[in-house]
A and B are shown apart, each in its own frame.
Chain A
Amino acid sequence: MKSEVTIKGHGIEITRFFDAPRDLVFSYWKQAEKLQRWSGCKEAKNCQIQMDFRVGGSFKQKMHITGAGDFSIEGQYDEIIEPERISYHVDLGGAVNRVLVEFFEQEKRTKVVLTHEGLPQQFCKFISQGTTESLDKLDRMLDGVAV
């Protein structure tokens, strides 16, 4: 796996380096036509994004998940500091997922630290052991398919 994953108090933290300047990396989160080209899981097809990129603005991502049908998720931007950080939340039927993305300049590369919160703190502690094992498995799985 190319990203580094840590279990944090309220969720998970994923760190990834991109070989591109920060402004360029940030633009791929800021513009819908760029974001919809990469956002979404492996099973997601025909991803369409409508977004109002400003604090309090909302976004909607429509996609087709192979074998499961059409889905759409809606969220709202809570904080935007260009080109340093973006935070938003998505409400999944009563459970709120919060995502914070931070962009750091490291010479000519960009370090992206993504915190995905959706788990209460004690609970995370409770399951972190088991999860670390699962993540190791995932890591091996992803390594196996990496070109």
Chain B
Amino acid sequence: MVSKRKQLSSVFAALADPTRRRILERLSKREEFRVTELAMPFRISLPAISRHLRVLENARLVQRRRNGREHLFRARSGGLKEVQGWIVHCVAGWEFSFDSLDELLKSEQRRYKSL
């Protein structure tokens, strides 16, 4: 099993590439796409698209289904939840830290005043 941290890093790395983000956006428009359909708007080769799809697949952002020789792709909504979770976690982390900082600042100021 892949650790959560590794999974998140692979999601970020997958999303760092503009072509992959566009592929993902296209995938959100319809349920399923053939590789050739996904390759169409891009000026890159089919093998290049396949490589991008593999990266997205490893990051668990897309799902592959084989129908005979044809490979069909769809977006996995669960992959995005992971990143949403990261944002919430990140905000909660800062909020918690800021509360502690607030306390420290308050007690330091109280000390000053009592001197």
Contacts and interface: CB of A to CB of B under 8 A. Distances in A.
Secondary structure at the B interface, as helix, strand, loop or mixed, is helix
Q: Indicate the size class of the contact surface on chain B.
A: 35 or more
**Most chain A CB within a 10 A radius of its CB, from B16, B85, B89, B98:** B98
Given A5-B91, A122-B25, A134-B87, A93 B6 contact: yes
Interface stretch (A52-60, A79-87, A112-120): A112-120
B94 A120 contact: no
Contact of B88 (A92, A123, A138): A138
B104 A38 contact: yes
B92 interface: yes
A41 B96 contact: yes
Interface in A73-126: 92-95, 112, 114, 116, 118-120, 122-123, 126
Q: Indicate the size class of the contact surface on chain A.
A: 35 or more
Contact of A38 (B15, B24, B91, B100): B100
Contacts of B21: 120, 122-123
Contact of B95 (A1, A7, A20, A130): A1
B48 interface: no
Contacts of A34: 104
Contact of B12 (A37, A41, A92, A138): A92
Contact of A131 (B15, B18, B84): B84
Contacts of A7: 87
Interface in B9-39: 9, 12-13, 15-16, 18, 21-22, 24-25, 28
Contact of A37 (B88, B89, B104): B104
A3 interface: yes
A28 B105 contact: yes
Contact of A92 (B9, B89, B104, B108): B9
Contacts of B92: 41-42, 138, 142
Contact of A3 (B12, B98, B106, B109): B98
Contacts of B40: none
A83 to B, nearest CB: 14
23 contacts: A5-B91, A12-B90, A12-B91, A14-B94, A14-B95, A18-B101, A19-B102, A19-B109, A20-B105, A20-B106, A24-B105, A24-B108, A34-B104, A38-B100, A40-B93, A42-B93, A93-B6, A114-B94, A116-B90, A116-B94, A120-B15, A126-B24, A127-B84
